[in-house]
Structure 1
Amino acid sequence: MGRGVLLTSNLPQLQNLIKRDPISYKEEFLQQWNHYNSIRQIFKINPDEQAQHYRELVCFISQVATCYPKETAEFPSQISTLLLESYGVLSPDTRKTLVQNLVMLRNKDVITSIELLKSLFPLLPRTSSTTLRSYIRQTILTEIKVANQRAQNHKLNRAVQAMLFGMVERGMGGEVVGDKGKLRAANGPNAERDSHNTEEAMWAVVLTKELWKKGVWKDAKTVSIVAQGCFHPVTKVQSASLHFFLGSEEEDDDSDDEEAVDVKSLQHRREINKKTRSGDKKLRKQLKVAKKKSQNKAPALANFSAIQLLHDPQTFGEKLYDMLNAYDKRFTLDHKILIMQLLSRVMGSHKTCVLGFYTYIIKYLFYRQLRVPSILVALAQSVHDLTPPDAVTPVIRKLSQEFIHPGVASEVIAAGLNAIREVSRRQPWAMEEDLLGDLIEYRKSKDKAVTAAARGLLRLYREVNPSMLKRRERGKTASMGLASGSAPLPYGHSADAAIDIEGLSLLEDHLQHLREEDGVELGDEDEDEEAWNGWDIDSEESDSDSDEWHNVDSDDDEDLVISDSEDEKEKEKQEKPDGEADVSAATRISTLATTKILTPADFALLNDLRLKAASKEVETVGGSKAKRKLAALEAAKAHQTEENEFISENDILGPRKKAKADYAERMASIQKGREGREKFGSRKGKQNKAAPSSSTNREKARNKPIMMVLSSNAVRGKKKASLRDKQQKLRAHITKAKKAGH
């Protein structure tokens, strides 16, 4: 009797005993289980009655559920059902207890990850407690991350992605209100339902972005969830989705993150509040966190991989344009620019054509438009080599009319010229010949930015289409190219198939040299090269026995006709004098591309080898031809690195006279000026002293100009002093001199 009463009143003790010997204490557990079922029925009717005892029983059963799996089979579903159906009437402590015990059951493998996540996802938009919401969110992210730690858990990922996609999809039927109708939307007839759908979709986008950022999910299904959020009727969800593809972070992206630390506000608050040691310690901690955040803040970079994984980018871009055009009056300018930026990057990355976008953007192309540099960047990024020139020509004409004329400032002219240059770089055929002649005349301007922009446009057309320039403006290289008959390909035409990759023989020789240094014979490097045996020849044989025939097994070799004209040419080149041997060696066709799959690292190495060979040629042989070749390779390398990044507003604005320095730049300049000198103070009087110190006020007074001293109070006081005062000062001076030993 006493033992039963003791175990009934002390659940932690009973829990410990059950874990040691579940069979012996099964009767006591069943007693508590029946008690739990009784209280659960009462708790459903009145959640405030016996809430504390109910929480204790839930914690007890969660701890010992693994000991009696058959009896507690329905226990997890009971907790989950109570949370989902009666969440609004439960007390905060009860909610927290139920969620924590549900997570504990997952940790004990009583329920699966999918069952846990199905219970936690609906709670995120309904939870008002910041602590509990943060706990639920962290639990979801950790559960998915751990499940995909060793290998991709495709079953879990598909289930979770389906739930997230459904959370976004449920709110897609609403009306697009826009930024300018928030109050009207908040007071509508379906305000409560729309608010729930908004929060649900927002959390789906936030969690998806977080899993992408942590590297847990990197597939096309993840991108499709956020891509669906770009067309959500609520602008908050749209903005979060757009920022994901643009690689930036909006201010209200995550409601659970700590607020940005305002350093000046903290210091001001410390000045007016009571000074305590704890306050000083708290201030130092907050300043340390703020400094760490500023140092770890990464620059905004476009999310290239997400844009590349878009499903049907043409349809995605058309839907973006339709939304932008249809709700132009409902969106603010900042939101419209976000849509423009994403649309332009999709068009530039996938080379899609949404021709209506160029008609739409013309109305924003005037120099007094707010945020016009961002609009010009979006325009330039949307153009590519497959864009019809007829669609871009009106845009270039509009830019020249609005930005490039004597009635505007030089900064406006420079921005217009730079924008036209970036558009023409991607589609040179959109430029009109007469307009080009007028624009490059601005290279004679007195403003540095305008001159640089006009010269950049001139250099561009010297490279891409010099025939549009006047004869005196083409330059030597372009004129020689036109004289030799080379001309740019018209729009829609592609170059002929390449026979060989320029400089590939350099890469082949380099790899052969590395094999010889490592002592690895050719053909034994890996299994892939062994598979090519009998089909091609090694690089050593190609150098020494290039004029020998190799048999090719074929049933129809009697119908195979091979001309030996190329071999005769190779023999003639090899018989040339030594001075021409380098030409034949450079022109030989490498067989590396037929025996090895070239990776991006191989092409990067090939570019470096070509640069080294061109630099060596400039040093040894010299000449203008070698220098031009080296300059062309360096320019191609720089252009290749620029193509991997989208253009920025600085590319449109160009060099400015003096940009205002921010706080970090000013502090760096101050620190640079302090290098090589002592901390503060003047260095005067410190050179000839054993102990460095500054001069005294008496020493400074001796060197004062006489005209400054005459009007001082000390001199005026001497003139007005009485005879007795003068005698006292003289007596004091004599006494002081005697004491000093003078």
Structure 2
Amino acid sequence: MVRKHNNQLPENLPQLQNLIKRDPASYHEEFLQQQQHFQNTIEVFQLAPNQPNKTLDELVMFMAQVAQCYPKELETFPQQLIDLMQKHNTVLDNSVRMNLCKALILLRNKGLLAPTDLLELFFQLLRCQDKSLRQFLENHIITDIKNLNLKHKNAKLNTTLQNFMFSMLKDTNSRAAKMSVDIMIELYKKNIWNDAKTVNVIATGCFSSITKVMVASLKFFLGKDPDEKDSDDSDSDDDIDPKEVMMANKFNKKTRKREKNLSKVKKLAAKQYKKKSQAPKFNFSAIHLLHDPQGMAEKLFQRLENQNQRFEVKLMTLDVISRLIGLHNLFLFNYYSYIQRFMQPHQREVTRILQFIAQASHELVPPDVIEPVLKTIANNFITERNSSDVMAVGLNAVREICARCPLSLSEDLLRDLAQYKTYKDRAVMMASRSLIQLFRNLRPELLHKKDRGRPTEASQELDTIDYGKLNVKDYVPGAEVLLSEEKGDEFEINSESGSDDEQWIDVQHSDDGGDDVNEAEDDGVDEEESEDDDEDASEKEDDDESASKPKRKILKAKRSTKEELEEKKSMAHKVTLERILTDEDFKKIDMANVRKHLQGPNRGQKRSVENENFQRNKEDLVKLSDIENIYKKRKHDKQTRVQTVKKGQEDREKFGYKDGRVNIHCSKTNREKSKKKNFLMIKHKVHGKVKRSFKDKQIALRNHLLKLKKMK
């Protein structure tokens, strides 16, 4: 019997869906039939919501696809699905729940559902024990919030969602709280929610009773911002020309020492300008957005003392506290005594612990608080009973702490550590010399006289460091070079127009010149007037004058140096107030400041640079590589050795036997052919040509005699 082709649209939902989208009015009756069928299916489904229902899945997707065609008929359809999910969200079948979520997302994309209603429902669904659903919802929430803030930030919606997430963090369900933290962290990394409120909401997760939430929040504050690949601040036209820095070498005699010094100056100037031209980059900007860093550090430290967490979690907590203390200059004195107990060479992750104590050091910490820490490092690490690597790590840790808190190291301990500059191991020697170089630029008076190095203009301009004192200058340091260059131009013009007999002498500007002349004249007058005095008295006065001459010279030198520095400061202050400095002026000032670190207090006296990093730039956070930096020639691995060998074989003649035949097609001798044969093929021939030793001859003779004896 042939089946009649009746109307099959009620059974073929994809075809009916396509027709309704083309012509909604013509298929309105078929749609009403499917709507009634959907309502009946819902009533049956609610009797057993934990069972899968394929018919319901098909009808829900059909209604969601054609919802924009019949807005009046399906006005309550989104809310009906939301109510169904809220009522049976934990007992629904996984496939049914996923299908309902997809239908709601489809309605949201068509603008038939408010974003707040859907996002709040999805946050509640994060409690479900369905990992694939939670991952699906997380991706949708991030994408939806990103699209909502694509053109302009929706402040009202963001505030509502942030408040809801703040309540979700306090949820007893660990999965929902963890997912909420992950969503906020991802939105912050995508620069969607990068405001202070988001950061402070995540900060509350550090005190959560759920370990996963706490660890995720701590890792957020331990992350780093991505490096900016393209920086518009750098300009190739502003590069410092090192030739201008060492212009004096152009006219001096060319020696090997001056060439070496010039190469170091070029590297120094280029490195300094490269650091200065780059925009300041913070290791992590989220820590700077906290409202109450002092309270957060105190709560984290109190939680660390009271609770017994895993060692890895303790390390993360110590790291966050150290960053808070270092970046915000906080006071948490118990932190230093707490971390001292972990400062042992055999302690696990001891280099990271030393990094934390260096990060927690800043100029406002009292020296009495940091000094016991330095003594502990010196007693436990910097002793000859330990290995050289342990000693070098300890010296590097002391250097990093003193770079941020220079008043914490005493003079006796510094001089003891400076004696390791001649240690037999290179790692310890270089670490000690780096500590000496640091104090040459910070507090050279603590070093021994032989360790201070030759004085420079920069070392003479160093101000004394006092606790709590801020060295604020009201002028641009080095701006006096602009006035001196103008005087130099006038000098060149006058020297060109003058006669050949005139000679110009470079004299230091000081007010002591005239006083010295007057004093000399007065001394001469006194000598003439004192000729009639007794000889004993005159001899005594001569002895006193001869003894006081060196002291007088030292006092005059100190006075002239001090007055010269004051004059330079006044000139720099004058230039800063009276002129608008251009980029060219700042270039000249930078070059003058570089020259101060290379030039002695007397003009024309140059000194070599012991270290290109003449002034240690203090960063916000301490790099672990600075503490683990051990000067030792590491062994290459196998891959590196193979690459080195192959690189050395490039453009080299082939090693081995060289064929010297003029015609390569002609035959070879047997001797030439034997060079390409396997050794086992010609071993018997080679062995026959070798002369036998005396012992071999004895053995052969003995065997021969034995053989003859047996034959008889």
TM-score w.r.t. the length of structure 2 is 0.67
Say if 2:643 is the partner of 1:671.
yes
Alpha-carbon distance in structure 1 between the residues aligned to 2:77 and 2:658: 84
Give the secondary-structure state (helix, strand or coil) at the position aligned to 2:10. helix
Question: Which residue does 2:589 correspond to in 1?
Answer: 610
Deviation sequence 1:40-99 (CA, Å, 0-9, x none): 111011136681111111111111212222332221122223234323433332122111
2:393, 2:630 within 8 Å by CA — same for their partners in 1?
Answer: no
User: 1:317–1:85: structure 2 CA closer, same or farther, 3 Å change rule?
Assistant: same
Alpha-carbon distance in structure 1 between the residues aligned to 2:607 and 2:161: 55
Alpha-carbon distance in structure 2 between the residues aligned to 1:208 and 1:659: 43
Paired residues for 1:377-416 under 5 Å: 377-416=355-394
Give the secondary-structure state (helix, strand or coil) at the position aligned to 2:421. helix
Question: Which residue does 1:589 correspond to in 2?
Answer: 575
Kindly provide the amino acid, as one letter, of the partner of residue 81 in structure 1. D
1:373, 1:653 within 8 Å by CA — same for their partners in 2?
Answer: yes
1:315 equivalent among 289, 295, 316: 295
Kindly provide the amino acid, as one letter, of the partner of residue 698 in structure 1. S
Alpha-carbon distance in structure 2 between the residues aligned to 1:361 and 1:336: 11
Question: Which residue does 1:336 correspond to in 2?
Answer: 314
1:357 equivalent among 304, 313, 335: 335
Give the secondary-structure state (helix, strand or coil) at the position aligned to 1:476. coil
Query: Displacement, 1:205?
Result: 1.8
Give the secondary-structure state (helix, strand or coil) at the position aligned to 1:647. coil
2:656 equivalent among 684, 689, 697: 684
Alpha-carbon distance in structure 2 between the residues aligned to 1:95 and 1:696: 84
User: 1:144–1:702: structure 2 CA closer, same or farther, 3 Å change rule?
Assistant: closer
Give the secondary-structure state (helix, strand or coil) at the position aligned to 1:244. helix
User: 1:703–1:107: structure 2 CA closer, same or farther, 3 Å change rule?
Assistant: closer
Question: Which residue does 1:116 correspond to in 2?
Answer: 118
Alpha-carbon distance in structure 1 between the residues aligned to 2:292 and 2:479: 36
Paired residues for 1:423-502 under 5 Å: 423-477=401-455, 488-495=464-471, 497-502=472-477
> Which of the pair has more CA radius of gyration?
2
Alpha-carbon distance in structure 2 between the residues aligned to 1:657 and 1:50: 67
Question: Which residue does 2:137 correspond to in 1?
Answer: 136
Give the secondary-structure state (helix, strand or coil) at the position aligned to 2:675. helix
Give the secondary-structure state (helix, strand or coil) at the position aligned to 1:335. helix
Alpha-carbon distance in structure 1 between the residues aligned to 2:144 and 2:120: 12
Question: Which residue does 1:215 correspond to in 2?
Answer: 191
**Larger RCO (CA within 8 A; separation ≥ 6):** 2
Kindly provide the amino acid, as one letter, of the partner of residue 53 in structure 1. T
Query: Displacement, 1:32?
Result: 2.2
2:479, 2:572 within 8 Å by CA — same for their partners in 1?
Answer: no
Kindly provide the amino acid, as one letter, of the partner of residue 674 in structure 1. K
Query: Displacement, 1:475?
Result: 3.1
Give the secondary-structure state (helix, strand or coil) at the position aligned to 1:675. helix
User: 1:79–1:352: structure 2 CA closer, same or farther, 3 Å change rule?
Assistant: same
Query: Displacement, 1:7?
Result: 3.5
User: 1:76–1:426: structure 2 CA closer, same or farther, 3 Å change rule?
Assistant: same
Say if 2:284 is the partner of 1:304.
yes
Alpha-carbon distance in structure 1 between the residues aligned to 2:57 and 2:146: 30
Query: Displacement, 1:395?
Result: 0.9
Question: Which residue does 1:203 correspond to in 2?
Answer: 179
Alpha-carbon distance in structure 2 between the residues aligned to 1:229 and 1:487: 45
Alpha-carbon distance in structure 1 between the residues aligned to 2:353 and 2:597: 44
1:65 equivalent among 38, 60, 67: 67
Question: Which residue does 1:233 correspond to in 2?
Answer: 209
1:19 equivalent among 18, 21, 44: 21
Alpha-carbon distance in structure 1 between the residues aligned to 2:683 and 2:52: 94
1:449, 1:655 within 8 Å by CA — same for their partners in 2?
Answer: yes
Kindly provide the amino acid, as one letter, of the partner of residue 217 in structure 1. W
Question: Which residue does 1:376 correspond to in 2?
Answer: 354
Paired residues for 1:164-183 under 5 Å: 164-171=165-172
Say if 2:193 is the partner of 1:246.
no
Alpha-carbon distance in structure 2 between the residues aligned to 1:410 and 1:451: 10
2:475, 2:572 within 8 Å by CA — same for their partners in 1?
Answer: no
Kindly provide the amino acid, as one letter, of the partner of residue 46 in structure 2. K
2:427, 2:631 within 8 Å by CA — same for their partners in 1?
Answer: yes
Q: Which moved more, 1:435-444 or 1:369-378?
A: 435-444
Paired residues for 1:79-118 under 5 Å: 79-118=81-120
Alpha-carbon distance in structure 1 between the residues aligned to 2:612 and 2:650: 44
Q: Which moved more, 1:158-167 or 1:668-677?
A: 668-677
Kindly provide the amino acid, as one letter, of the partner of residue 401 in structure 1. N
Query: Displacement, 1:144?
Result: 1.3
Question: Which residue does 1:647 correspond to in 2?
Answer: 622
Give the secondary-structure state (helix, strand or coil) at the position aligned to 1:397. helix
2:363, 2:404 within 8 Å by CA — same for their partners in 1?
Answer: yes
2:331, 2:365 within 8 Å by CA — same for their partners in 1?
Answer: yes
Kindly provide the amino acid, as one letter, of the partner of residue 325 in structure 1. E
Alpha-carbon distance in structure 2 between the residues aligned to 1:491 and 1:618: 26
Identity %: 34
User: 1:443–1:371: structure 2 CA closer, same or farther, 3 Å change rule?
Assistant: same
Kindly provide the amino acid, as one letter, of the partner of residue 135 in structure 2. S
Query: Displacement, 1:617?
Result: 9.9
Question: Which residue does 2:149 correspond to in 1?
Answer: 148
Give the secondary-structure state (helix, strand or coil) at the position aligned to 2:384. coil
Give the secondary-structure state (helix, strand or coil) at the position aligned to 2:69. coil
Alpha-carbon distance in structure 2 between the residues aligned to 1:467 and 1:618: 17
Question: Which residue does 1:722 correspond to in 2?
Answer: none
User: 1:446–1:687: structure 2 CA closer, same or farther, 3 Å change rule?
Assistant: farther
Alpha-carbon distance in structure 2 between the residues aligned to 1:26 and 1:706: 99
User: 1:319–1:506: structure 2 CA closer, same or farther, 3 Å change rule?
Assistant: farther
User: 1:207–1:60: structure 2 CA closer, same or farther, 3 Å change rule?
Assistant: same
1:30 equivalent among 29, 32, 43: 32
Query: Displacement, 1:469?
Result: 2.8
The Cα RMSD (Å) is 4.3
Give the secondary-structure state (helix, strand or coil) at the position aligned to 2:475. coil
Query: Displacement, 1:429?
Result: 1.4
Question: Which residue does 1:52 correspond to in 2?
Answer: 54
2:456, 2:601 within 8 Å by CA — same for their partners in 1?
Answer: no
Alpha-carbon distance in structure 2 between the residues aligned to 1:453 and 1:366: 19
Deviation sequence 1:249-283 (CA, Å, 0-9, x none): 9xxxxxxxxxxxxxxxxxxxxxxxxxxxxxxxxxx
Kindly provide the amino acid, as one letter, of the partner of residue 144 in structure 1. I
Alpha-carbon distance in structure 2 between the residues aligned to 1:658 and 1:56: 69
Which stretches in structure 1 are left out of the alignment for 5+ residues?
A: 172-196, 250-300, 509-580, 717-742
Give the secondary-structure state (helix, strand or coil) at the position aligned to 1:68. coil
Query: Displacement, 1:709?
Result: 5.4
Question: Which residue does 2:538 correspond to in 1?
Answer: none
Query: Displacement, 1:31?
Result: 2.9
Deviation sequence 1:548-582 (CA, Å, 0-9, x none): xxxxxxxxxxxxxxxxxxxxxxxxxxxxxxxxx99
Query: Displacement, 1:421?
Result: 1.4
Alpha-carbon distance in structure 2 between the residues aligned to 1:43 and 1:440: 83
Query: Displacement, 1:107?
Result: 0.9
Give the secondary-structure state (helix, strand or coil) at the position aligned to 2:362. coil
Alpha-carbon distance in structure 1 between the residues aligned to 2:69 and 2:678: 97
Q: Which moved more, 1:11-20 or 1:98-107?
A: 11-20
Say if 2:170 is the partner of 1:161.
no
TM-score w.r.t. the length of structure 1 is 0.65
Question: Which residue does 1:347 correspond to in 2?
Answer: 325
Q: Which moved more, 1:149-158 or 1:581-590?
A: 581-590
Deviation sequence 1:180-221 (CA, Å, 0-9, x none): xxxxxxxxxxxxxxxxx2211211221122222222221112
Query: Displacement, 1:22?
Result: 3.1
Which stretches in structure 2 are left out of the alignment for 5+ residues?
A: 226-280, 484-566, 666-670, 693-712
Alpha-carbon distance in structure 1 between the residues aligned to 2:482 and 2:152: 37
Deviation sequence 1:611-635 (CA, Å, 0-9, x none): 345679999x999768879979974
